Amino acid sequence: MNYEKYMNICIQLAKNGEGKVSPNPLVGCVVLDKDGNQISTGYHAKYGENHAERDALLKLKNGEEKDGTLIVNLEPCSHHGKTPPCVDLIIERGIKKVVIGMRDVNPIVNGVQKLKNAGIEVIEGVLEDKCKELNEIFIKNMTQNKPFVAIKTATTLDGKIATSTGSSKWITSSEAREEVKNIRNRYDAIMTTSSTILADNPSMIHNKKIILDRCLKTDLESKIYKQGEIYLFNQTIDMFEGGINFIKTPSKENKLDLNFVLKRTNELGIKSILIEAGGHLNGEALKYADKIYHFIAPKITGDNSSLSCFDYRKISEISESSEYTIDSVEIFEPDILLTYYPNR
Ligand code: AOF
Ligand code: ZN
């Protein structure tokens, strides 16, 4: 049986929950009857709503799933949370075989054992790496109790995000900029700085926005403040006013303490952050970054005084560079998107 084909369907279904299930994982499910025909699909659509397995099984009303196979990218749950345990429903419906992509990293889940105890065959590890990448945010949150941090940047071929005069519109194509909206949707919040707001006055439409403005230099009439929940980290005031959460933050060497910012955002329930800023924050954030989305346009400024996408230190040896592993290269004509992870 080619379970990989169905696991890919699970992954696609799971992505329907992007932007809506946090802090829960993205989960999709396919059910086959005893002859191997696909009879139902489901996914976890929204935080607090049915899990993928329940969604798929509740669509079946006539017992067609008896002795069938259930395929799901994450180990079915065995705990009473917002919904009853999925394993109980799987057992009750007479499923004979369960195929999973990865074990659940949530320590309260012990679904595989419960299924086996009920005499159900369990096949594990189908497209495991792909399933882990799908839920990289959930895995980091559960195992480290820290938000997942990603950086998005858009540069020329020579790694520049603007000229020395600050001209940056537009480096990448509208197709690439459309993709940024899809990327944003995967993250609980976006993060930017006063420098970016002052230079570009962007709107950055999103539910939650983290703004680093140490000296409260930005005009609260800037476009970014017109929409979304605002968390304004600064070194002076701690209050909620005019719909803005001002958060007083310690600073070091004239920079807000990013460690503090990430801790506070985690406490506020923000489990994943996409940084969209200039070279200084991008550089400072590299040590926290779990993933980088780097759009590159086929343009060269050829000017060393143009601004670089990561700009935070001086090194003398190339061996001091931080190293990364490229995960994918996608084309958004005429630009490319490189996705890479730090080698840690
Ligand atoms: C699954 N399928 O579709 C999801 C699972 O509060 P609850 O009841 O929604 O439970 C949340 C936990 O359940 C979550 O941390 C993860 O371990 C698991 N989520 N499990 O089998 C799903 N969303
Ligand atoms: Zn469940």
Work out the pLDDT band at 344, boundaries 50, 70, 90. confident
Cis before 334? omega within 30: yes
Q: Which residues are tagged catalytic? A: 53
Ligand 1 mean position to 25 CA, how many Å? 7
Question: What does the angle CA 9 – CA 10 – CA 15 come to, to the nearest 5 degrees?
Answer: 100
User: What was the pLDDT predicted at 202?
Assistant: 95
What is the C-alpha to C-alpha distance for residues 295 and 288, in angstroms, rounded to an integer?
Answer: 20
User: What was the pLDDT predicted at 1?
Assistant: 83
For residues 206-217, average pLDDT:
98
Percent of the chain with pLDDT over 90: 99
Tokens of 195: 């420098």
Q: Of the bound ligands, which one is closest to the alpha carbon of residue 104?
A: 1
Work out the pLDDT band at 150, boundaries 50, 70, 90. very high
What is the C-alpha to C-alpha distance for residues 9 and 121, in angstroms, rounded to an integer?
Answer: 21
For residues 76-91, average pLDDT:
96
Q: Give the pTM.
A: 0.95
3-state secondary structure at position 71: strand
User: What was the pLDDT predicted at 86?
Assistant: 98
Pairing type for strands 229-234 and 244-248 reads parallel
Per-residue model confidence as pLDDT tens digits over 161-207: 999 999 999 999 999 999 999 999 999 999 999 999 999 999 999 99
Per-residue model confidence as pLDDT tens digits over 98-133: 999 999 999 999 999 999 999 999 999 999 999 999
Pairing type for strands 189-193 and 272-275 reads parallel
Tally Cβ neighbours within 10 Å of residue 174. 9
The amino acid at residue 56 is A
Per-residue model confidence as pLDDT tens digits over 290-300: 999 999 999 99
Ligand 1 atom closest to 47 (CA) = 9
Question: What does the angle CA 127 – CA 103 – CA 266 come to, to the nearest 5 degrees?
Answer: 105
Ligand 1 atom closest to 109 (CA) = 17
The domains of the chain, with CATH numbers, are 3-135 (3.40.140.10), 146-188+272-344 (3.40.430.10), 189-270 (3.40.430.10)
DSSP 217: -
User: What was the pLDDT predicted at 74?
Assistant: 98
Task: Give me the helices (H) in 150-255, please.
Answer: 174-185, 194-200
- Asked if residue 76 has its Cβ within 6 Å of ligand 1, the reply is yes
Letter string b/e over residues 183-216, b meaning 16 or more CB atoms within 10 A of that residue's CB: bbebbbbbbbbbbbbeebeeebebebbbbbbbee
User: What was the pLDDT predicted at 311?
Assistant: 97
Percent of the chain with pLDDT over 70: 100
